[in-house]
Amino acid sequence: MTAVLPLAGRARVGALRGASVSEMVVALLAGLLVVHLALGTLERFRSAQVRLAGRTDALVALRVSRHLLRAELRVGLPGRDWRLADDSLGLRAFRGTALVCPTRPSPDELLVRYAGMRAPDPTKDSLLLVTGRGEVEVRALAGVAATADPCAAAGPGTVGRWRLDREPPPGVVLARLFERGSYHLSGSALRYRRGLSGRQPLTPEVWTLPETAWTRTYEAIGVRLVPGDAGAGAAWSGFLAWTDRP
């Protein structure tokens, strides 16, 4: 009768051959080296990706801040439409223009053809009314309604009925729509406060405070933007607007 040994048993039958201690040490060291190199490479990739993402955020924030602030200040008059306080830039931001139609729906209403950056909002907007003689008066916008009434004033835009807080001056031909708000460099971002609402971030939160700040010279204002972890070389100082319009 022939006995059949299990596989494990058969393996033990022959001379047991294992690795020597030195071979095991070399194998372990080689394994550790490979793992170390792999982990190091992964860590470098991860930190490189984080740095790239940070630089991208800083670039986006710089681009948005620069374009936005310059566009807002360009169409306003310093001192009248915008003013730089300690930490904020308060402004009456231009949002659109309305041609006033000759017909008047009611004493405190205007029929207008409006074209602008956004739809008018009675809770936050005010109007600068310009008469045919060049006089200007300010009114608050109390209500807005769409209408199908015809408007003789030709031009782009949509026709609507705007109710004012009080009667407009006679001979008004043009209404400029403004939004009251303020820009702030706070919480590591450029923020905008529209009306009396909260400060909403417009950029990623990348700026270092208080190094990031408004700058003021004799005839111009600017801003110095310093990204948090991008190094001093990534700081940007730039011109925004003249404070004494020639």
Partner 1 sequence: MDLRGRPGQAAFTLLEVVLALIVLEIGVLGIAGTLYLASTTLRRAETLERAVARAEGVLDSLGRGAEPGAGRASFSAGEVAWSVGDSGQVEVHATGPTGALLFRVRSILPVR
Residue 105 vs 238, nearer CB to partner 1: 238
Tokens 């011109």 found at? 239
Q: How far apart, in whole angstroms, are the C-alpha atoms of residue 71 and residue 79?
A: 17
Stretch that binds partner 1, among 81-89, 156-164, 198-206, 237-245 (CB under 8 A): 237-245
Verify cis geometry, omega within 30 degrees of 0, for the bond prior to 210: yes
Task: Print the binding letters for residues 50-79 with partner 1: x by CB under 8 A, - otherwise.
Answer: --x--xx--x--xx--x---x---------
Residue 66 vs 194, nearer CB to partner 1: 66
Q: Tell me which of 33, 36, 43, 49 binds partner 1, using CB under 8 A.
A: 49
Residue 47 vs 106, nearer CB to partner 1: 47
Residue 198 vs 246, nearer CB to partner 1: 246
Q: Tell me which of 19, 35, 138, 140 binds partner 1, using CB under 8 A.
A: 19
Q: Does 23 bind partner 1 (CB under 8 A)?
A: yes
Nearest residue to 175 via CA among 184, 187, 185, 163: 163
- Beta-sheet pairing, 236-242 with 220-225: antiparallel
Buried b (16+ CB within 10 A) or exposed e, 38-66: eeeeeeeeeeeeeeeebbebbbebbeebb
Nearest residue to 120 via CA among 96, 155, 102: 96
Q: Tell me which of 1, 3, 8, 17 binds partner 1, using CB under 8 A.
A: 17
Q: Write out the two tokens for 48.
A: 């490189």
Residue 74 vs 118, nearer CB to partner 1: 74
Q: Render 75-99 in DSSP notation, one character per residue.
A: TS-BTTTEEE-SSEEEEEEEEEEEE
Q: Does 224 bind partner 1 (CB under 8 A)?
A: no
Contact residues for partner 1 (CB under 8 A)?
A: 17-19, 23-24, 27, 41, 45, 48-49, 52, 55-56, 59, 62-63, 66, 70, 233-234, 236, 238-239, 242, 246
